[in-house]
Amino acid sequence: MCGRFVQLPLFDKSQAPWPELADDLAGVTAKYNLAPTQRAAVVLGDGDKLELRKLRWGLIPPWVKDLKGSFATINARVETVATKPAYRAAWKAPRRCLVPMAGYYEWRDENGGKQPYYIAREDGTMLYAAGLWEPRHRLQDEADDSDGSVTVITHDAVELAGTVHDRMPVFLDPAFGREWMTAPSEDAMDMLLAATMPALRVVRVSRAINSSRNRGGPESIVAAET
């Protein structure tokens, strides 16, 4: 599972995987504790043209009659993403995307409470999680300024990430981002299953991040005192 993550602006535009989005990625609002139902910056497009859109985290399928279940759709398991009703239409359309992440949080039971860990790329560069998106739903009210909704695809966690939680996002090489968004379903699934694990680091952080009301800051992703 991925229940919170961090989005930061791309500080070095030369690292932008897509030159046409360099300015947009550099202008992303820093969010150190991005939680379900909040807005995330998401890369989507038809292959020829890519866009950075603001989407509500928690996929809202077009057939739902209320928004209460969107928390349950923040993650889509790779094992069922192509067949589960909530995701099937977006998978086949295709409405695939990449979610830029500086890193994400997971929790472990320690000393009678939930201890958060921050998991990020060892070299400090951006991660790009595979996702699915849906256009804006008719039930989203005017106060909701997002262009639609998004879910993050997960698979079994391995290596250091697996010491904290048994699931993690599927991270894709952004060089294949256009292909991921437009490939036939079978090829897209092959890309998910063949995704290689980037070198990650795991940092024990302050429990202050446990509250989704805590917006956090740079101090949220540094090692906590023991």
Residues with Cβ within 8 Å of 16's Cβ and at least 6 positions away in sequence, in order, are: 10, 22, 25, 26
Burial of 106 (0-12, 13-18, 19+ CB in 10 A): buried
| Strand residues in the chain grouped as ranges (E) | 4-7, 31-34, 39-45, 50-57, 75-77, 96-101, 103-110, 113-121, 127-135, 148-156, 167-169, 200-204
Between CA 190 and CA 17 the distance in angstroms is: 21
Residues belonging to the chain: 226
pTM: 0.95
From first to last of its 226 residues, the chain has per-residue pLDDT tens of 789 999 999 999 999 999 999 999 999 999 999 999 999 999 999 878 999 999 999 999 988 887 776 668 999 999 999 999 999 999 999 999 999 999 999 999 988 899 999 999 999 999 999 999 999 888 777 777 788 999 999 999 988 999 999 999 999 999 999 999 999 999 999 999 999 888 999 999 999 999 999 999 999 999 987 6
Q: For the chain, how big is the Rg over CA atoms in Å?
A: 17
Q: What is the pLDDT of residue 136?
A: 87
What pLDDT, on a 0 to 100 scale, did the predictor assign at position 194? Answer: 96
**Where along the chain do its domains lie?**
4-106+124-200
Name the maximum alpha-carbon separation found in the chain: 51
Locate 143 and state its tokens.
């106060």
Q: Record the tokens describing residue 202, joined without a space.
A: 């795991």
Token duo for residue 14 = 């030369």
Residue with structure tokens 């540094």? 222
The residue to which tokens 């939930």 are assigned: 114
Distance (Å, whole) CA 52 – CA 125 = 18
pLDDT at res. 57: 95
Q: Which two tokens stand for residue 170?
A: 């599927």
The Cα 37–Cα 169 span in angstroms is: 18
Which pLDDT score, from 0 to 100, does residue 150 have? Answer: 97
> What's the CATH code, domain 4-106+124-200?
3.90.1680.10
Token readout for 195 is 């995704």
| Alpha-carbon separation of residue 157 from 3, 61, 161, 166 (angstroms) | 14, 27, 6, 5
pLDDT of residue 139: 78
Find how far residue 225's CA is from the centre of its chain: 28
Residue type at position 67: L
* Residue 78, Cβ density class (10 Å: 0-12 exposed, 13-18 middle, ≥19 buried): middle
The pLDDT score that the predictor gives to residue 69 is 64
131 phi, psi to nearest 5 deg? -150, 175
